[in-house]
Amino acid sequence: MYNSDMGFMFRDNEVLTQERGNVMNKVKISAFCFAVSAVILWRWQDIYAAPGADLQKPTTVAQSKSERQVIKMTATTPHIVGTFDAKRSELLAKQGEAGILVYGPYLSLSPGKYRVRFILTVSGKGKIPVASVDVAATADGKMNVPASLDVNPAPKEQVLTLDFESSPKSVYEFRVLTKGNAQVAVREIVLDPL
């Protein structure tokens, strides 16, 4: 004999079982996505940074007012795109590589005025900016850019100059950012007090 109540209960249990299965699948998928995100965040420097670049713990270097600081490019110079060319002692981003070619060195500067010079070579033709250079200052977890300049292609090595005034609570870095539409090579960055 067929019992409609039993049939109905069976269907409810089946629906309930399917709903539990769907919820469990969603929980499993969410847990998997969380685990993948955690691994990516934990290993992001290996995925996005160049070998030798320590993005988790930037080194802050004290800088006195009277010293010149010359930052020569090496294989351990912090960068996200590009590669180190040992023959030329420069960091090189080929056409198609867009992003931060040089950053750092996280200097705590004495209060005063400074001049930073970026010595670089940019291939290409035309007057369209293919990169930019800037001074980035970080204080209390907030970054601002007190000085920046667009970079156009040129047939020879260029020396681009930015002047800025430091504040005692800020940590400074000097960055070269490429747009990916030309080859950019950085040889050195020089910081002078004024």
Which 3-state string (H, E, C) describes the chain?
Answer: CCCHHHHHHHHHHHHHHHHHHHHHHHHHHHHHHHHHHHHHHHCHHHHHCCCCCCCCCCCCEEECCCCCEEEECCCCCCCCCCEEECCCCEEEECCCCEEEEECCCCEEECCEEEEEEEEEEECCCCCCCCEEEEEEEEECCEEEEEEEEEECCCCCCEEEEEEEEECCCCEEEEEEEEECCCCEEEEEEEEEEC
Q: What is the pLDDT of residues 131-156, one digit of tens each?
A: 999 999 999 889 999 999 999 999 89
> CB count, 10 Å around CB of 51?
10
Residue 193 above 90 pLDDT?
Answer: yes
Query: For the domain 52-193, what is the CATH code?
Result: 2.60.120.260
pLDDT at 124: 81
pLDDT at 31: 47
pLDDT at 17: 52
Q: What is the pLDDT of residues 79-98, one digit of tens each?
A: 999 999 999 999 999 999 99
> Residues 6 or more apart from 113 whose CB is under 8 A from it?
163, 164, 165, 166, 193, 194
Of 61-65, 67-71, 78-82, 111-115, the poorest mean pLDDT is in 61-65
pLDDT at 126: 79
Where exactly are the structural domains of the chain?
Answer: 4-42, 52-193
Of 30-34, 132-136, 144-148, 164-168, the poorest mean pLDDT is in 30-34
pLDDT at 20: 58
